[in-house]
Amino acid sequence: MTKDSTFRNEFIQNACFRMDESLRMVTICLNKLEESVIWKKPNTSTNSIGNLILHLCGNITQYGIASLQGLEDNRNRDKEFETLSGYSKDELLQKLSETVETAKQSFSNALEDEFTKKRSVQGFEFSGIGNIVHVVEHFSYHTGQIALWTKLLNNADLGFYDGIDLTVKNEN
């Protein structure tokens, strides 16, 4: 195994881990919410949890699947935010889970040169690595919004790290 392939494998492994972590947290949030609040918006300048999940699926597909695999970009970004209902929380979670799994496969199956190849996505020029970083950070960003909205609705801790001592110091 070359140094480059070791880096590639480590990078993909960590990107996939972070995708799974965000999915785990969104799942916890959805499990703590009533069906009736999934499409509720706190105000006119924010999005419902349903909209955020549709938006995540669109973004992950555009950057992490279509772009890396050289597939046609069929995203309708406006529809992600215009949708007001039509999916249950179980359907949204299934859609997100399938999208995340497909993206992780796309990361893992990308050929070596795809990681440095530049491509235009949403008018931005990114390498394959840039696309993967974008997908992971974008997913994390909206996971935080979903978590905050869930906390506001339930007035309760989400327990993302129950049973884990987060005060442990780094080892050198």
Domains of the chain: 3-154 (1.20.120.450)
Residue 13, Cβ neighbours under 10 Å: how many? 12
The dihedral region occupied by 168, where left means phi > 0, alpha psi between -120 and 50, and beta the remainder, is: beta
Contact 61, 76 (CB under 8 A): no
Residue-wise pLDDT for 11-70, tens only, equals: 999 999 999 999 999 999 999 999 999 999 988 899 999 999 999 999 999 999 999 999
Residue-wise pLDDT for 102-123, tens only, equals: 999 999 999 888 999 999 999 9
State residue 112's pLDDT score.
86
pLDDT higher than threshold 90 for residue 101: yes
C-alpha dihedral sign at 125, 126, 131, 134: negative
Contact 135, 103 (CB under 8 A): yes
pLDDT higher than threshold 70 for residue 3: no
First to last CA, the chain: 27
Q: What are phi and psi of 130, to 5 degrees?
A: -60, -40
State residue 4's pLDDT score.
67
pTM of the model: 0.94
Structure tokens, 4: 């480059």
Q: Mean pLDDT across the chain, nearest whole number? A: 95
Residue with tokens 């995540």: 56
pLDDT higher than threshold 60 for residue 1: no
Structure tokens, 62: 């555009």
The SS3 of residue 48 is coil
State residue 130's pLDDT score.
97
